[in-house]
Amino acid sequence: MRLEYFDLIDKVDELDLEGSKIKISSRLPDRSPVFDGHFPNFPILPGVMMLEMMNHAAGYLLYRRFMGERFVFLGGVKRAKFRRMVRPGDTVEVRAHLTHEGSGFSIAETTLTSGGATAADAEIILISQEFPNPEIKAALARHSETLTQPAEA
Amino acid sequence: MSSTFDTVAQVISETSDVPLENIKPDAHAIDDLGIDSLDFLDIVFALDKKFGIKIPLEQWTQEINQGKASVQDYFVLKNLCARIDELVAAKNAK
């Protein structure tokens, strides 16, 4: 996981494409420029990064449902709450479930937990469209291959 | 007034905080009611659920961009309601 590069998923633990559910996990780095500023002498994961992790989990699920053929990004946040602080070195799990797949958009319910406790939850809107260029499509495909995936059933 | 229009008007009013009395069949969702594109997604989401359909928003946008349809064909409310009725009928015919 490299926070400052928005490289937020270490491992895909569970992936249910038919059921539209995913669980990912990541270990927060011990050091990061993000923590240097947020906050000096009291490093915690910013709420917006928790939201981005939830976006990445749901977005990756949708990306895989589209078999890597659609560009997926955050379109809106219907609801978000940040309930507990998460610190450097903590392991974080994110669960996401697509509750609606419309035309060019999807709605996802997401939850971020650490140490068995809910640290954040959100309902988000994801937009999907054609890739703006072939280079980003290829880059995302390469990145997808680097993620540890669940074992085949 | 059709029940489809009543449902659509209610959804728009609740989702986008537009007074119900301002929502008329000839109103343009964006130009007259001040609804932006993300607000419209919320409306489409609610309508998809209410009617059990999947409004083909991407296809409509593509048709407008290609000049095969006008913005009025889909975003004037009476026309939107007619499109919804067609989608519901198609779903029920399956």
Q: Which of residues 14-73 of B touch A (CB under 8 A)?
A: 38, 41-42, 44-45, 48-49, 54-59, 61
User: For residue A153, what pLDDT is reported?
Assistant: 47
The Cα of A102 is separated from the nearest Cα of chain B by a number of Å equal to 6
Q: What integer is the mean pLDDT of A41-53?
A: 97
When CB atoms are compared, the residue of B41, B54, B55 closest to A125 is B41
CA dist list (Å): A23 to A12, A18, A72, B56: 6, 14, 18, 29
* Residue numbers of the domain that contains A119: 3-144
Hey, which of A70-74, A142-146, B13-17 has the most confident mean pLDDT? A70-74
Domain assignment present for A42: yes
Strand partners for A123: A79, A109
CATH code assigned at A94: 3.10.129.10
User: For residue A135, what pLDDT is reported?
Assistant: 97
**To 5 degrees, how large is the angle CA A91–CA A42–CA A30?**
40
Q: What integer is the mean pLDDT of A118-143?
A: 96
Query: What percentage of chain B carries pLDDT values higher than 90?
Result: 84
Choosing among B41, B50, B83, which should be mutated to test the A contact, i.e. which has the most A CBs within 10 A? B41
CA A87 remoteness from chain centre: 17
pLDDT at residue B72 is higher than 90: yes
Domain count, chain A: 1
What is the distance in angstroms between the CA of the first residue and the CA of the last residue of chain B? 27
Domain assignment present for A151: no
Top CATH class, B3-93:
mainly alpha
Domain assignment present for A11: yes
- pTM score of the predicted model: 0.89
DSSP string, B40-67: HHHHHHHHHHHHT----HHHHHHHHHTT
Please state, in angstroms and rounded to a whole number, the distance separating the CA atoms of residues A128 and B58.
Answer: 10
- What does the pLDDT look like over A86-101, one tens digit per residue? 999 999 999 999 999 9
This model of the complex carries an ipTM of 0.81
User: For residue A152, what pLDDT is reported?
Assistant: 58
User: For residue A150, what pLDDT is reported?
Assistant: 81
User: For residue A103, what pLDDT is reported?
Assistant: 95
Answer yes or no: do B57 and A103 touch at CB < 8 A.
Answer: yes
Strand stretches in chain B, DSSP E: none
Domain assignment present for A149: no
Domain assignment present for A15: yes
